[in-house]
Amino acid sequence: MTNKELADTFTLIANLLEIKGEVIYKILAYRKAAETLSAHPRAAKDIWQEAGIKGLKEISGVGPAIADKIDELLNTGKLDFLEKLKAEVPESLAGLLQVPDLGPKKVKMFYEQLGVASIEQLKAAAEGGKLAELPGMGKKSEEKILVGIESLSRRSGRTPLGDALPFAGQQIALLKKVKGVKAVEAAGSLRRRRDTVGDLDILVAAEDSEPVMEAFTSQPLVARVLGKGKTKSSVEFNNGMRAQVWVHPPARFGTAIQYATGSKDHNVRLREIALDQGYSLSEHALTKEDGSEILCAKEEEVYKTLGLPWIPPELREDRGEVKAAQSGNLPKLIAEKDIIADLHSHTTWSDGKLSILEMAEAAIARGRKTLAITDHSHNLGIANGLSVERLKEQRKEITAARKKLGDRILLLHGIEMEIRADGTLDFDDETLAWLDIVIASLHVGMRQPREKNTLRILNAINNPHVDIIAHPTNRLLPDRLGSDLDMEAIFAAALANGTVLEINSNPSRLDLDDVHARLAAELGIPITINTDAHAAEHFDFLSYGVATARRAWLTKGQVVNTWKPEKIQAWLKKRG
């Protein structure tokens, strides 16, 4: 069982317990355990095999009860507790919680009063006017549920950062034009630069909220208004995305954006510190025990009042950042301007859109000092992968481009080489040694078992000519999960061989993800942040890769792409 499967099991337990009416803190405990498990860099199964139940309890949010349940799940694949729970509360009821505006209390009531146990039955009951007759319900509530079912069918879960960020930019531009608005900023998971975003959270500083709410809710892109109040409004757009806008007076903007940025767990930590110091921290102010308020117009002031340095939003996941801030050990995070090399790009020789020279010019225009041309190898036929013969032809064009470019950029001739489904590599050692730089990656045969795919990657790492493993898990956001790999074995091999692991900046990939990149870098594995550009504008994907690196706590010194051309050449020469 993977961490994801364990997490899903505990989320299901939490949902069923909530419908059953269990005390909220028990439910929160299961949710918390599910969250830590799904974001944990190590497989719970590996921890369990090494250190048993005792090892599982070391995981934050996992105590004796949940550790026992993980143990049972890993031993038998089943959980007696869950089976009994399902007998009390049908599993299908958990699915009803997906319907917006439908929570555990109503799900329970609909099931007990009307026998509603599925979305179809819910829809039929609402259309038949049965829901409105129940206590606490009315015509409007019934209508809301029908609308919720409809919107559920339209929504597609989380939105990749690469789609959410530009869309949020449009919304911010719109709100900035409203009269009286002093500042507009995105908050929430978007500001923390998570790889996917749920709803957009937008903070507006203004004394008068009414014109802001009016402009926000009445724009043509809005499919329906979910709520509209003085401090908060939320809408659903035609594209299925949802957004909410908060309006706070400029003098309170600091606490407001701190609150809305989250994460929830980071804010809990911060509120604990506030309480220790005699404050209560809310989105409105820091309030002393005598009721007097300290207002913060800037977010920095919130942290400063609590005796902390400002913490970059990308770190605010309750992964040790508050402790690091307290002890003065926050990392000096890498920034986009630190990146001066791109070691992964494609041209018309395989599936790219531009020539070698055009790609080099586009990279120079963006301040890059080194560019590796790494087209696909022949086993990836769909991308017009290169044979050895075409690779030799390509070298002539590289040489010609170098002459034209002079010392404006270091142009490396490389390859993105397929690791075939059987684990063998697409080129022999002689060809690989002849190239300046070799990236190895998987594109096909990803559904093979964990052991097989792990071995494929290990085989590439163990080849001394392979310099970089690109997008190791091959996930595609938002929906395709990466391959189930033994990342610990991969990290150990990479460390032993000096192989560099990639954070691919394409917003559909962001692979390695933040959690794995952090673990790899902590082990001492050098990281590379590449755009995998297939066109000029793809070089701008860099900001997404850097955001992922910042979420992984990476500093300039841990990233190969900050090196000057001479250092990159020396590194490649040493590798042979």
Residues engaged in binding DNA (CB under 7 A): 23-26, 28-30, 32-33, 57, 60-67, 97, 99-107, 132, 135-142, 144, 188, 199, 201, 227-234, 242, 244, 268, 271-272, 275-276, 282-284
The C-alpha atoms of residue 539 and residue 549 are separated, in whole angstroms, by 16
E strand segments, 140-187: 159-160, 181-186
In the complex, least distance from residue 13 CB atom to DNA, rounded to whole angstroms: 9
345 in helix, strand or coil?
Answer: strand
In the complex, least distance from residue 230 CB atom to DNA, rounded to whole angstroms: 5
In the complex, least distance from residue 56 CB atom to DNA, rounded to whole angstroms: 9
In the complex, least distance from residue 547 CB atom to DNA, rounded to whole angstroms: 20
The C-alpha atoms of residue 464 and residue 241 are separated, in whole angstroms, by 47
- Of 244 and 499, nearer to DNA (C-beta) is 244
- Of 281 and 383, nearer to DNA (C-beta) is 281
Contact between 535 and 505 (Cβ < 8 Å)? no
CB neighbourhood size of 167 (10 A): 18
- Of 276 and 430, nearer to DNA (C-beta) is 276
- Of 204 and 552, nearer to DNA (C-beta) is 204
- Give a three-class secondary structure readout of 287-306: EECCCCEECCCCHHHHHHHC
- Of 126 and 559, nearer to DNA (C-beta) is 126
- Of 102 and 333, nearer to DNA (C-beta) is 102
- Of 152 and 221, nearer to DNA (C-beta) is 152
In the complex, least distance from residue 17 CB atom to DNA, rounded to whole angstroms: 8
Using CA atoms of 354, 359, 362, 363 in order, give the dihedral in degrees to the nearest 10: 150
In the complex, least distance from residue 398 CB atom to DNA, rounded to whole angstroms: 50
- Of 104 and 385, nearer to DNA (C-beta) is 104
In the complex, least distance from residue 139 CB atom to DNA, rounded to whole angstroms: 5
In the complex, least distance from residue 447 CB atom to DNA, rounded to whole angstroms: 33
State both tokens at 514: 């933040």
Amino acid sitting at position 333: L
State both tokens at 430: 């002689």
Contact between 157 and 166 (Cβ < 8 Å)? no
In the complex, least distance from residue 155 CB atom to DNA, rounded to whole angstroms: 11
Give phi and psi for 280, each to the nearest 5.
Answer: -110, 125
Amino acid sitting at position 516: H
Give the DSSP letter of residue 98.
Answer: T
- Of 63 and 524, nearer to DNA (C-beta) is 63
Order of strands across the sheet that contains 200-206: 181-186, 200-206, 242-248, 232-237, 222-228
Tokens 């189930």, located at residue? 484
Cβ burial 531-550 (10 Å sphere, 16+ → b, else e)? bbbbebebbebbbbbbbbbb
Q: Which of 537, 184, 526, 202 is nearest to 352 (CA)?
A: 537
- Of 60 and 218, nearer to DNA (C-beta) is 60
In the complex, least distance from residue 65 CB atom to DNA, rounded to whole angstroms: 3
User: How far lies 506's CA from each of 27, 42, 534, in Å?
Assistant: 36, 25, 10
Bridge-partner residues for 184, per DSSP?
A: 204
- Of 188 and 385, nearer to DNA (C-beta) is 188
In the complex, least distance from residue 23 CB atom to DNA, rounded to whole angstroms: 6
The C-alpha atoms of residue 228 and residue 209 are separated, in whole angstroms, by 11
Q: Which of 438, 485, 433, 436 is nearest to 457 (CA)?
A: 485
End-to-end CA distance of the chain: 41
